[in-house]
Amino acid sequence: MQKVNWTIIALHFNRQGEKMQNMKLIFRPLLLSLLVLTLSIPFLTASAFAKTTKPKKNNGYPVITKTYKQAPATRQAIAKTKPDQSPTSRVSVRQTEADPQPEQQPDREPERQSARQRPAPTPSADNQTLTKKITAKSAIVLDARTGAPLFERSPDNPGQPASTIKVLTGLIALQNLADNDRVPVSRRAADMPRSKVNLVTRKTYQADKLIDAVLLASANDASVALAEKVAGSESAFAQLMTKKAQEFGATRTVCKTASGLTAKGQYTTARDLAVIFRHAMQNNEFAARMRQLTANFDGDILRNHNKALWQIDGAEGGKTGFTQAARQTYVGKFKRGNDEILVAVMGSYTMWSDISNLVEYGFNQKQNQRLAGKGQSSPKNPQQAGPAYADSRSNPSAGRKVAEL
C-alpha cells in the first residue's frame, strides 16, 4: 500500500486557501460598488427628471416665469378686463394700506371718491407730530373747566401710579386732620424707602408739616404716618383713597399704598390722574400748598419736586412720581389768561420735555378753538360745568367741600 504524503496534501490545501483569500480581495470591491450603485438609483432618477423639467431657453436665456408686481395702471386695466382674477398677496397688502375698501370689487374708483368725501378718522397733523415727540406711553390733556379732552394717547391704559397718587394722600389728610394735630411715627413708617424726610419713631410731628412733606417732597415715610393716623393702617387708608377716586369719577384707579410705591393690584390711568387732580385743585387749601416752591420742615427746607412751577409758564401745581415699574409719571394744572388745562403722563422717559410739549399743544388747541368760533370758555350758567365747578364759582371758600364730593 502506497504511503500517503501528508506534507504534500497540507501544502495543497494551504495553496487553495490562499487562492480563496485572493478571490475575496477581488470580489469585495465589486460587491461594494454594486451596493453603492443600487442605492444611487433613486437619486439618479430624480436628477434625470429635474433635467427634463428644466425651463426652456429663449435664444440661450431661460424664460422668466416669476410674476412681478404690476404698475397701478396695469392693475386697474386687469381688474376691468378680468374681474374674476384676484391680485397677488403683496399687492393686496399695499392696497389695503392705501385704500380701506374691499378688494373683491373690480372697479373701486367710485368707492375711493366716496371715501375722500368722508372726514378722515386719523388725527390732525399737529396731533401726530406731538405723538412722535413725547415718550410717555400714556398721556392726556384736558380742559380744566369742562373736562373735555384736548389730546389723548392711550389715556385709559392702566399702570402703576408712583408718587402721583400722593395727591389723594395729601387731600384726604387735609380733610381729616387739623394743622396742629400731632402724628406719631411707627417703625414701619420710619423704615419706608426714599423719597423720605427721615422721620424718627420717638417723635410726633404736626400734620400740617407732614402734608407739605408729602405734596412737595414726596415723602414716603410721611405718607404712611398720615395714613396710619387717619385710618389706623395703610391698607385701610388705601381703601379710602380708592373710594375718593371713584367719587371723583376715576373709576379705573385702585390704591394699595399711601405712597404709590409699586404694589400688586395697584393701578391708575392718565385720564384718572387728570380727573383726580382736577377735583383736588378745587380745594383751595390743597391748591395753595401745591403752588409752594419751598416749605419748612423740622429745621430743614423742603423743595418742591415740581420743576414746572419755574420752568413752564402758567404752572399752578403738580405732582411728580417715579418707580422702576411706573417710570416717570406726572399730573399738573396750568393756566394762561382765561384758559386752564390739565396734563397727565405715565410711563415717560423724558417727562419734562413731554410736559412742555403737551402744555404748549393744549393752549394752542384752546386758541384754535376760539379762532374757529368753537372755544370752550367758561359757561354763563355755572351749573353747565357740573356741581364741583358751580360750587367753586359761587363760593370760593367752599374748596374743601368741593373736594369732598
Of these residues, 166, 244, 319, 333, which one is catalytic? Answer: 166
**Which residues, 6+ apart, have CB-to-CB distance to 403 below 8 Å?**
171, 175, 279, 280, 282, 283, 286
Per-residue HEC secondary structure of 345-382 comes to EEEECCHHHHHHHHHHHHHHHHHHHHHCCCCCCCCCCH
Distance from C-alpha of 404 to C-alpha of 171, rounded to nearest angstrom = 9
Distance from C-alpha of 319 to C-alpha of 326, rounded to nearest angstrom = 14
Of these residues, 163, 195, 348, 392, which one is catalytic? Answer: 163
**If you ran DSSP here, which 8-state letter would residue 105 be given?**
-
**Which residues, 6+ apart, have CB-to-CB distance to 323 below 8 Å?**
160, 162, 260, 261, 262
For the four alpha carbons of 42, 44, 50 and 52, in that order, the dihedral sign comes to negative
Distance from C-alpha of 158 to C-alpha of 253, rounded to nearest angstrom = 8
Alpha-helical regions (H) of 99-146: 109-117, 125-133
Taking alpha carbons only, the member of 236, 242, 172, 168 closest to residue 207 is 172
Q: Is 195 a catalytic residue?
A: no
The string of DSSP letters for 225-253 reads HHHHHHHSSHHHHHHHHHHHHHHHT-TT-
Of these residues, 138, 195, 218, 392, which one is catalytic? Answer: 218
Q: Which three cell numbers stand for residue 145?
A: 373747566
Q: Is 86 a catalytic residue?
A: no
Residue 144 CB neighbours (<10 A): 23
Q: Which three cell numbers stand for residue 27?
A: 470580489
Q: Is 378 a catalytic residue?
A: no
Distance from C-alpha of 152 to C-alpha of 362, rounded to nearest angstrom = 11
Q: Which residues pair with 267 in a beta bridge?
A: 254
Q: Which amino acid is at 83?
A: P
Catalytic residue ranges: 163, 166, 218
